[in-house]
Amino acid sequence: MTTTTKPAADKKAAPAKPAARKAATPAPAKTATLAQAAAAGNVRFYRQRRNGTQRKLTYLAPGTADRAQAETVTKRREAGDTIQAIATDLRVSVATVRRMEVGLVLAQQVEAGDHNSKWNGEDAKVVVGKVGQEEGSAAAA
């Protein structure tokens, strides 16, 4: 009985793998207005404290559930409800209710163009003064 063996396969050099390319991340497109950039999530807002640290402020984009809830909170405040009563009803902290109000005021100011002068059209960070107050009165406080 004869056995045959398979001929050895020619070992060819494996094709060279292309060098790993870093995916080029495109620069964010320049947005026409601050309100559009904020709604797209391309801009973050901060309030500078007296000690120089910064506090991130939430921008409530139009049409979001958070914006609708903040508008409801503001209507209840205008109707005379206390912050504590609203917080209890919504099962959130008093601080959260205050942040909702500040976020809505910030959104309204941004949409009105009040903070356009603080943004150069490209930065992802905008430092605003005290939300809801004039810059001059914020410095005096």
Q: Among 77, 130, 119, 79, which residue's Cα sits nearest to residue 100?
A: 77
The pLDDT value recorded for residue 139 is 43
Query: From residue 90, how far is each of 36, 96, 106 by CA, in Å?
Result: 30, 10, 22
Instruction: State the Cα–Cα distance between residues 33 and 26, nearest whole angstrom.
Output: 20
Three-class DSSP category at 61: coil
Distance separating alpha carbons of residues 87 and 100, to the nearest angstrom: 11
pLDDT tens, position by position, 90-132: 999 999 999 999 999 999 999 998 888 888 888 889 998 766 5
**Residue-wise pLDDT tens digits, 13-63:** 555 555 555 554 444 455 578 889 998 889 999 998 888 889 999 999 999
How far apart, in whole angstroms, are the C-alpha atoms of residue 43 and residue 98?
A: 22
**DSSP H or E stretch at residue 125:** strand 125-128
Q: What are the backbone angles phi and psi of residue 44, rounded to the nearest 5°?
A: -115, 145
CA distance 66 to 97: 11
Q: Say if residue 76's pLDDT is above 80.
A: yes
Q: What is the pLDDT of residue 10?
A: 61
Name the residue with tokens 């947005």: 31
Q: Give the C-alpha distances (Å, rounded to integers) separating 88 from 61, 76, 103.
A: 25, 13, 20
Q: Check residue 27 and give its pLDDT.
A: 47
